[in-house]
Amino acid sequence: GVAAGAVTGILHTQCRIPAILAGILTQLGLYSVNLRILGKSNQPLLKVETVFNGIVDATGLEKAWVSILVGVVVLIMLIAVLYWFFGTEMGSAIRATGSNENMARSQGINTNFYKILGLAVSNGLVALSGALISQHQGYADVKQGIGAIVVGLASIIIGEVLFGKRRNFAVKLSAVVLGSCIYRIIVAVVL
């Protein structure tokens, strides 16, 4: 995931390909990589040891509760690590580049480097999420991530609208998580 993000960033910054098109090109290229890794378009993980199976065996809890527990623990850890990281000089440079690229450049920040780093971090998080989802569902599918961009954007928009008036960065990170939960609840109610 981190490597794919770096490739997207390089396509965008060095080859001057628009960001959304660079992401689409990387995603298309990853189909081949995923097919090579999986060996086929859909790979069952029923006989493979997963994080969830190990915890179910160790605690005796139901898989649904283990999934919630693992999700909450991973979320808390990620929010804490991201809050710390984006408070460092490097994280602040990424945030500055995202907020106002021209101002960041005028402050001496190498915006191209920080775009690549930001995309690498975000895609690494996407890869972690995909790995957890595959283990939870018990299979991996090449087309599994299609539509995830819509969920991601909806989560961010809902989180910003409902909770984004505060300037605290930890609240903004938590707002995206809450926005995602609200989006899923809305979809469930509609269905």
Task: Output the DSSP codes for 18-53.
Answer: -HHHHHHHHHHHHHHHHHHHHSSSEEE-TTS--HHH
Q: What is the pTM of this model?
A: 0.80
Q: What is the pLDDT of residues 133-153, one digit of tens each?
A: 999 988 888 878 777 777 878
Cβ-proximal residues to 175 (8 Å cutoff; 6+ apart), any chain: 159, 160, 162, 163, 164
- Three-state DSSP class for residue 152: helix
Report the chain's C-alpha Rg in angstroms.
18
pLDDT for the residue numbered 70: 94
pLDDT for the residue numbered 165: 66
- All residue ranges of the chain with pLDDT < 70 are 164-166
Side chain identity at residue 147, one-letter code:
G
pLDDT for the residue numbered 117: 97
pLDDT for the residue numbered 164: 66
pLDDT for the residue numbered 97: 95
pLDDT for the residue numbered 33: 87
pLDDT for the residue numbered 85: 96
Q: Which run of H or E residues covers position 93?
A: helix 89-99
